[in-house]
Structure 1
Amino acid sequence: MEAVRAGRTDEVVRLLDGMTDAERRAHFPALKALRKELRTASSWSAESRRAHPALHAAGAACQTGAAAVASWLSGTDMRWSQAAPAVLIDVLGDRDPDWLADVVHRLARRPVGSNVPYELMAGLVRLAGCPVPTTEAYVRGWMTHISQSRPRGGTLCDRLRRDPHLAQLVPAFFEIDDIGSQLRWLSGDGPHSWTKALAELTAEGTLDRRATVDACVARLLRGGSAADHRVFLDLLRDLALTRDEQRQRTADWAALASDAVSVVASHAQSVLGALALDGELTPRLLAETTEGVLFRPEKKLVRAQLVLVGKVLTREASVAGELLPAVARAFAHEDSDVQERALKLVERHIGKVTAPEVRDELAEAAGELIPALRVRAAGSLGAGVPEPEPVVYEELLPPAPEPVRLAPAPGSAAELAEEVNALMASGADVAAFERTLDGLVRHVHRDRDALLDTLEPLIARRWWGDPSVRHDLRATDWFGRYHHLLDPASSLDLLLATLRGKVITSALEPAPQGTAPDGGCVHDALARAVEARLWEVAHRIRTEPLPFLLSTPTWSTGLLEPDELVDRLDAYRRLGARVAAVDFGHALLRVRRGDRAAAVTAARRAAALGTEEGTRLARWLTAEGPARPASRRTSGPRVLIELDELPGLRDGLPAPLKPLGGPVSVFRDRWYCRHWNADVRGHWPALLPELPELVAARILRDVSTVAVDDDRGAAAALPRLAEADGEAGGAVHLCVAYGLGARHAQDRLAAVDALLVLAARGRLDPGLLGADLGQLARHGAVKPVRLAESLRTAAATGANATIWGVLRHTLPVLLADLATDGTVPSARGLGDLLAVAAECAERSGARGELPHLARAADRRGSSRLVAQARRLRSALTDGTAAA
């Protein structure tokens, strides 16, 4: 035991070699106790790092059960300080082969994250002489080992060829999810890559060719990420399938062309095309494949499929009766260009159809075409054209989300501990964080010692909770010097460290809160306001615990009902508790003043309390709420907003909150900004629930990066801004405009949600948003292709009139430039915007003139832009003009 504690692993092994099994078993309780002792300490302490390798080896040697030994060897507490595989093989090598086989297969079934060394598992397999495991952990370890064994000679292919278990392990890796990224990382794409090596081994007969090809195709059929599939597609290409091998798998190619990721579908489509043009594909299978491909989102694949069908029809007229109905499925496609291409193909080959029922089917399918194409189909296909009827359109906006009332704070310390643990592990929204924070304050006031006992297991896992650190300088140094709270977890770290006594009282004085005016970066006013309350709560935990928080919102948006705040102040008065200044300031910022009748009634009750805070609340509720400050817009590709000072928000608030009413200037300098965490930004709208403009102006530059710089994640706060109770002005609309042009889909979806919420609540200004989008697209800050995708998504919910109302102000700006210079950057993708506008106009029955549209529609050619301009003009007039 002395050797184990001292980490003298070689001595431990020598001592174990001289023991009987009974003597080893007698030592195990002491080893188990030492492990428990080290587990309560930090895994990174010097004592743990020193003892764990020797303990790891000794514990494995002093047990006799295979399950117990496997569990000991893969223990998470010793994951990063294990004994060397050679040492473990030495201490286990004298066991029965069947027992060793049991151990190695149990180890191989452990998750990859258990970090069981491959060298250990492979060594035990050699000693046991057992079949090799084919689990994910073993196969991934084997691949890494083979790839990194270059000093031992030969290429990757040579090393694989010499491996005795190659035939068992290669089929296994086809069954492991996301293995492709590891293959790419291990060997790259060069001539010595894994795919080239496997293809060479297959060609020479070392690997069974049919089994390898079948496994590769099956893996592609199973689905997965595009990055993963690119690797297996490379392998399939390296295998160079013969025409017979391709013909045997026509059903697989059809399934891949319809459902696989784009790059795989394109390859499958090319294989099927070659077979079809050589007459080796049945018309029925080609028709089924065509139906699947035509509704894929990739326009390139759709166009290629229509071209392929056209070539087949040109070569063999007799198959028109089977193929044209499949083509006609595209008449219901959301893209009018696809509809027109399909209609042209049907018109070109309709004469080859002899069966009347097929002609009737095609004519009936034409009813799904857009109005202009439907008129054309009436002449070419004999489709009926119904008499135009007045459009009776009803906007179907998704219902606006209702604010959720916060649940009461956790009633027991155990429930609170669960909430704190979940929040620190995965973050939380405003409602969960505020509820947990209030519960922590309440339980500290109620029974500090009982709360500490309940939280002790959680505290022991925090970096500042290391019991081997016997003083509070480590946490004090961190929280005192780097006092910025970057996310909800770090905020709770501060409070729990204070509760545990890890932060000295002097570090919690108001000084670290910072009372300097807004500086450093544009977010400081918001961030300092949030942090100031948390530092104040931490100080009161140490000096004078609060009974509960005054500023806990009533609703998930951050809004606090005035009657509820009066009740809390009355409870403070009866308890004789001293109000915390910043907490009360937060309550004033959150209290509802928009409902004037409720505010005046609550003000009378507050004044009757006879306390200083009651009087201040009464004055706050009866005063006129601060109007939106005057704003100015910057010019250039990145449009930002500057706000003037808002004195009404600065008066009556404590110093850390006063900068919220200060002016907002454009953040031009490249100063360091620490507010990169999206979790923090998501809590800012709840600080000023009736003034979303002040928050939007301060995060506008961040949101602009999702469109201008192709960043990710900054638009996540947009739905919360839209749900706020205050009026949405220029800053909110400009944030939404940038979000609609974001590079990444999740940011665009957040902006679409915000747009629809504003529209459903009657707070969307289509003219303002449309003009913003026009200017941003004109200057290149927002790409029309991305904007079209966002607006098409919004319109698909039923908001056609809303989206048309936006686009009727966006398109004239872009069409005006097009009228004078057809090569302007915004022209790229303008056809997509016109297509969305045309569809919205057709569905909503919009009529009227659109400036500069006629000049675009009268341009020569049949480009998408011109075709969609003509379609929109047709929709805005009588809906019957030719496309």
Structure 2
Amino acid sequence: MSAWQEVRDLVAARETKTLADCVIALTEAERAEVARRLPGLLKEMRDTATRMTHGSRGVHDLDEDWWTAWERRRTVRGALAELGAPLRIAGAGTISGPAAAAAWLTRRELYPEWGPAPDPAEVVRVLVTRPAGWQADVAARLAGKIRRADDVRIAPLVLALLRASGVTPPAHDPLVVAWLTGPAADDDPLLGPLLPLIFEAEGAGRALREERLTPSPTPWLSLIGRLLRTGRVSRAELLDGCVSRFLRGGDAADLRFFVRLHELVEPAPQEAAGRVRDYLRLLPAAPGPVAELALTQVDRTGPHDDADVQEAIEALTFRPEAKLARAGLSRLDQEVRRRPTRAGELAPALVTALAHTSDDVRRRAVRIALRHAAAFRAGAKSIADAVPLLPADLGRELAAVFGGDVTAEGTPEPFTPAPLPVLPEPGPFPAPSVDHTTWDLREWVAREQWLAGFVERAGRDRAALRATLAPVFQDFSPHLYDMESWLDPDAWIAALAKEVIAPGTDPGVPDPEPAGLGLLVGITYSALRRLFGEPERPDPAVDLRRRSRLPEPAHVSPPHMFLLHRLDEIYQALREGTLPPVLLATPTVMTGHLDPRVLVDRLELCAAAGVEPLPADLQQALLRLPRGTHPFSAERAAHVRSQAAPAVAAWLAQGGLPDPEAGLKWGYIENAHEYLFEERDPGHAEQVRLVPVLRAEPTGHHLIDELLREPSKWRWDDHGHVMASWPSILPSHREVVSVNFLPHLLHQWNHPGVYPAYLEAVADADGPLGEATALIMAYFLADRRPDPVPVLLRMTSRGDLPAEAIGRQLALLLRRTWFETRPVLASLREAAHQGAHEQVWEILRALLPDLLPSAGERPNVTQTEAVALAADVAAWVGARGEIPAVSAHAPTGRPSRRSRFARECARLCDQLAG
């Protein structure tokens, strides 16, 4: 057997270890032969995979729709990726040119489309047998191809090659950051050459931003600490690196790691003194944590000359952060106490503080000015000029000593909310019609119109119906019958139209495709599905053919499955010649509701034609009835001669479906275990899951009972399709719809998501609202994309906004997920100004206790803003009734010595006390 044949066979067999041994042992002539023929082998494999995926169809089938073409390309890509590791090994050991070798090793088609590349160990074992200069050239070229820190294809190969070969790594920022995203190891040979580069590499700080010193150092800080203690890295090198990185600038997230590294080194006073000019340069504009660090180091050194002291004070009082501005004022106070003659030089810094955005800073500056009034006489004019910038109470105190114009104490402008939108009554449902384009039929209203018109015209004048449908559907969805299941309603509508255009065209459900190139991937995925409680996929080798193209029930959401059952039975009835003259469930109102009198009219029409209604259509009709009993219609239904009539009469007489128990629980995953917050509350969790709660008594209608099964907290396969239709399926039990939305609310990237338009449809429907709807509204208030206020106003106008529940769920959402408070406050303030002020107050009353600082915690600006908004809204609505959590933060005492947070709490308490 030739060397080429042996390599080819080992590649096909994916025997990577044996293949590596083989190419290492090749002669130069054999290497050249293999390298020459590798591109042809790759093309041959690509062509073979392409032919296999197309089967009997031509490779360049022009009628192939884009989805099918994309699926086929993905399958070919997956097949080549399965052979990517052996092909890379073969190229690593045989291609002579460094540029060509690097290009071969980074070919995109030789790597999985998703997920990391296989272990590069065998590729590296081959590469390190090549000449040293060749290795260095290839390593540099491969490193240069790394574009992102999260590169999972090239970076692992480059880092493994650098470690194994001893080649000096190139100074390439993405390479450094990729190295930092890996494990931190004391014996890593790359520590020496790459650690000094972290201070210069763009993105290094962001990659390490989660590193912490407390409660115990995390991996990289721990490793550097060990290196420092053993002398493998010098204190000066680390300090100089941190300070130079601070001086280069960046945001707080980029510099957080270097701040903690600086704290780890803990410079001695003499070390800080040698860098004091650099620390002073950081005070005016560096991010807050860096400026605090610099100030600490400046304080540990000294004495400082007057110019340095003045520079530091002016820089600090200029800072927007109240903490740093207060620190500047403290130093100003100390300096004037020590040397009153310097007050004139420091007066500009005091004036800067008087104009600060923080009320607390302004008040402290006023106290210092009054305390040292005699010393500041030289700067009295500049202080007097700042008086108009102060609130009236502070301005009066300062003007009494220094003069100046006090800002008039204005009265609050009267609150004049905009009127709530006037919502018209829901309009009548449009008449049945098949005159819609395929694009129109993606909307549920057009789809219901089309189905109703189709069934009526199919029984009345099928030839005319065929003439209407043929131009629209004749060439639509050419591969419709190749699908094992039809997930989208437009596929079923196309099938109905094609059956009328050319009866009997449907050959039946195709045999399952044979297990092929994706089998190993399927086996791996199967294990993951079991881990997360997903149902097993049907065995692809099973010959039993399903009777219809309905998907597996567990693979779609319950409302979606309910809709598909109705479409399936219409299709089966058309093929079997058992269509009724009319569909029962077509709504009469745009909310999706069905007039009970019209239902009985349709039931009578079916009975007169001697045809029973379709079961799923009947059950959908029952769910679309308005809430409550309908005795007149029930009596009429009882006299209809039909097998379905007694069920309709009973449903109308007994008030329909009792409200199920509907709600949710908050859960999370930690260390591959699932927990509920109510059982074990960690506060904030990284992997939060919403657990739907839905329990209903059996109704005796099996499809309704299936619809009311509790949704899975997990989503997979085709869950979440056609969510815009769900409110119209249960228009009298909208909280059930919201419960079904929950698995699709959080973590919406790359998955079907919930949008305000869906909640708007829920708002227009009927039935009690609870925690599930409240959480969805809370989510939109926090997300603000798109604007959630119109939906809140719509629900307020209808008088059924669950405001208190929204406040509760907002508190949980902010505490347990990634959402921040300020967007919520912006949404609530806007809603209050647009007429929902009473509802906003109820939301804030429930939310506020959870937002306040806990015992021993310093209030932050956002908490102050939340209390201020609550105080404003409480005044607008004339709210009364103590909130104990707020009262605890509203101490008595001299007003000027309180923080703004305490004053806002006091203002709110005064309002609530009347």
* Pair in the same fold by TM > 0.5: yes
2:343 counterpart letter in structure 1: A
Deviation at 1:247, TM superposition (A): 1.9
Q: Which runs of 5+ in 1 are unaligned?
A: 151-155, 418-433, 449-462, 515-523, 595-611, 663-671, 707-712, 817-822, 879-883
Q: Residues 313 and 505 of structure 1: is their aligned pair in 2 closer, same or farther, counting only changes over 3 Å?
A: farther
Q: Paired residue for 2:348, among 322, 333, 336?
A: 322
Deviation at 1:281, TM superposition (A): 3.5
SS class of match (1:674): coil
Deviation at 1:793, TM superposition (A): 3.4
Matches within 5 A, 1:122-141: 132-136=169-173, 138-139=175-176
8 A contact 1:722–1:757 mirrored in 2: yes
- Compute the TM-score of the two structures, normalised by the length of structure 1: 0.59
**Which residue is 2:516 aligned to?**
467
Say whether 1:21 aligns with 2:32. yes
1:293 counterpart letter in structure 2: P
Residues 33-42 or 625-634, more deviating: 625-634
Aligned positions, number: 736
8 A contact 2:31–2:93 mirrored in 1: no
8 A contact 2:759–2:791 mirrored in 1: no
Query: What are the Cα deviations for residues 748-790 of structure 1, in whole angstroms up to 9, with x where unaligned?
Result: 456997577323663386997359859999x99999xx99867
**Which residue is 1:179 aligned to?**
207
Say whether 1:688 aligns with 2:766. no
Q: Paired residue for 2:154, among 116, 129, 145?
A: 116
1:134 counterpart letter in structure 2: A
Q: Distance in 1 between matches of 2:856 and 2:198?
A: 51
Q: Paired residue for 2:104, among 66, 72, 89?
A: 72
Q: Residues 623 and 467 of structure 1: is their aligned pair in 2 closer, same or farther, counting only changes over 3 Å?
A: farther
Say whether 1:655 aligns with 2:702. yes
**Which residue is 2:674 aligned to?**
none
Q: Paired residue for 1:395, among 400, 417, 422?
A: 417
Say whether 1:799 aligns with 2:832. yes
**Which residue is 2:803 aligned to?**
769
**Which residue is 2:546 aligned to?**
506
**Which residue is 1:246 aligned to?**
276
8 A contact 1:834–1:868 mirrored in 2: yes
8 A contact 1:363–1:384 mirrored in 2: yes
Deviation at 1:217, TM superposition (A): 1.8
Deviation at 1:54, TM superposition (A): 3.7
Q: Paired residue for 1:291, among 318, 329, 332?
A: 318
2:218 counterpart letter in structure 1: G
8 A contact 1:800–1:841 mirrored in 2: no
Say whether 1:194 aligns with 2:224. yes
- Compute the TM-score of the two structures, normalised by the length of structure 2: 0.57
Deviation at 1:245, TM superposition (A): 0.8
Q: Paired residue for 1:437, among 488, 491, 498?
A: 488
Say whether 1:58 aligns with 2:90. yes
8 A contact 1:815–1:852 mirrored in 2: no
Q: Residues 36 and 833 of structure 1: is their aligned pair in 2 closer, same or farther, counting only changes over 3 Å?
A: same
8 A contact 1:173–1:179 mirrored in 2: no
Query: What are the Cα deviations for residues 338-397 of structure 1, in whole angstroms up to 9, with x where unaligned?
Result: 66555545554566254454234322111xx3x766776776775435375573433369
1:868 counterpart letter in structure 2: E
Q: Which runs of 5+ in 2 are unaligned?
A: 1-7, 54-73, 112-116, 427-435, 443-471, 479-485, 500-511, 607-611, 628-641, 665-676, 679-690
RCO (CA 8 Å, sep 6+): is it higher in 1 or 2? 1
8 A contact 2:732–2:765 mirrored in 1: yes
Deviation at 1:687, TM superposition (A): 1.5
Q: Residues 338 and 464 of structure 1: is their aligned pair in 2 closer, same or farther, counting only changes over 3 Å?
A: farther
2:319 counterpart letter in structure 1: G
Q: Residues 389 and 217 of structure 1: is their aligned pair in 2 closer, same or farther, counting only changes over 3 Å?
A: closer
Matches within 5 A, 1:196-595: 197=227, 200=231, 203=234, 210=240, 212-218=241-247, 221-224=250-253, 228=257, 231-234=260-263, 237=266, 241-256=271-286, 259-260=287-288, 263-271=289-297, 278=304, 279=306, 281=308, 283=310, 286-294=313-321, 304=327, 307-312=330-335, 314-315=337-338, 316-330=342-356, 332-333=357-358, 340-341=363-364, 343-345=366-368, 347-348=370-371, 352=376, 354-355=378-379, 357-366=381-390, 369=391, 383-386=405-408, 388=410, 391-395=413-417, 408=440, 437-441=488-492, 467-468=516-517, 505-506=545-546, 513=553, 527-534=557-564, 582=616
8 A contact 1:730–1:768 mirrored in 2: no
Q: Distance in 2 between matches of 1:624 and 1:630?
A: 16
8 A contact 1:438–1:552 mirrored in 2: no
2:11 counterpart letter in structure 1: V
Q: Distance in 2 between matches of 1:128 and 1:858?
A: 65
Q: Paired residue for 1:725, among 763, 766, 773?
A: 763
Give the fraction of aligned pairs with identical amino acids, expressed as a percent. Answer: 14
Deviation at 1:89, TM superposition (A): 1.7
Q: Paired residue for 1:33, among 39, 44, 54?
A: 44
Q: Distance in 1 between matches of 2:264 and 2:312?
A: 26
Q: Distance in 1 between matches of 2:319 and 2:531?
A: 57
Say whether 1:5 aligns with 2:46. no
Deviation at 1:132, TM superposition (A): 3.4
Q: Distance in 1 between matches of 2:843 and 2:498?
A: 60
Q: Residues 796 and 56 of structure 1: is their aligned pair in 2 closer, same or farther, counting only changes over 3 Å?
A: same
Query: What are the Cα deviations for residues 695-722 of structure 1, in whole angstroms up to 9, with x where unaligned?
Result: 388489999999xxxxxx9997788536
Q: Distance in 2 between matches of 1:106 and 1:802?
A: 58
**Which residue is 2:637 aligned to?**
none
8 A contact 1:800–1:843 mirrored in 2: no
Q: Residues 657 and 233 of structure 1: is their aligned pair in 2 closer, same or farther, counting only changes over 3 Å?
A: farther
Q: Residues 148 and 32 of structure 1: is their aligned pair in 2 closer, same or farther, counting only changes over 3 Å?
A: farther
Q: Distance in 2 between matches of 1:225 and 1:312?
A: 35
2:151 counterpart letter in structure 1: G
8 A contact 2:363–2:394 mirrored in 1: yes
Deviation at 1:528, TM superposition (A): 2.5
Q: Residues 812 and 792 of structure 1: is their aligned pair in 2 closer, same or farther, counting only changes over 3 Å?
A: closer
**Which residue is 1:881 aligned to?**
none
Residues 243-252 or 526-535, more deviating: 526-535
Q: Distance in 2 between matches of 1:47 and 1:359?
A: 77
8 A contact 1:859–1:866 mirrored in 2: yes
Q: Distance in 2 between matches of 1:46 and 1:857?
A: 61
8 A contact 2:720–2:744 mirrored in 1: no
Query: What are the Cα deviations for residues 198-254 of structure 1, in whole angstroms up to 9, with x where unaligned?
Result: 69555377x5974x2454325663553686556555466469852231322423333
Deviation at 1:442, TM superposition (A): 5.6
Query: What are the Cα deviations for residues 832-856 of structure 1, in whole angstroms up to 9, with x where unaligned?
Result: 9897565565589748573459998
Matches within 5 A, 1:782-793: 792-793=825-826
Q: Distance in 2 between matches of 1:756 and 1:826?
A: 39
Q: Distance in 2 between matches of 1:85 and 1:579?
A: 67
Q: Distance in 2 between matches of 1:841 and 1:792?
A: 13
Q: Distance in 2 between matches of 1:281 and 1:583?
A: 83
Structure holding more helix per residue: 1
8 A contact 1:696–1:732 mirrored in 2: no
**Which residue is 1:871 aligned to?**
907
1:179 counterpart letter in structure 2: A
8 A contact 1:815–1:856 mirrored in 2: no
Q: Residues 544 and 248 of structure 1: is their aligned pair in 2 closer, same or farther, counting only changes over 3 Å?
A: farther
Deviation at 1:19, TM superposition (A): 2.0
SS class of match (1:364): helix
2:416 counterpart letter in structure 1: E
Query: What are the Cα deviations for residues 511-548 of structure 1, in whole angstroms up to 9, with x where unaligned?
Result: 9649xxxxxxxxx9x9533334457778999999999x
Query: What are the Cα deviations for residues 587-627 of structure 1, in whole angstroms up to 9, with x where unaligned?
Result: 99689x99xxxxxxxxxxxxxxxxx9xx99x99xx999989
2:253 counterpart letter in structure 1: G
Deviation at 1:68, TM superposition (A): 3.9
Q: Residues 294 and 190 of structure 1: is their aligned pair in 2 closer, same or farther, counting only changes over 3 Å?
A: closer
2:546 counterpart letter in structure 1: S
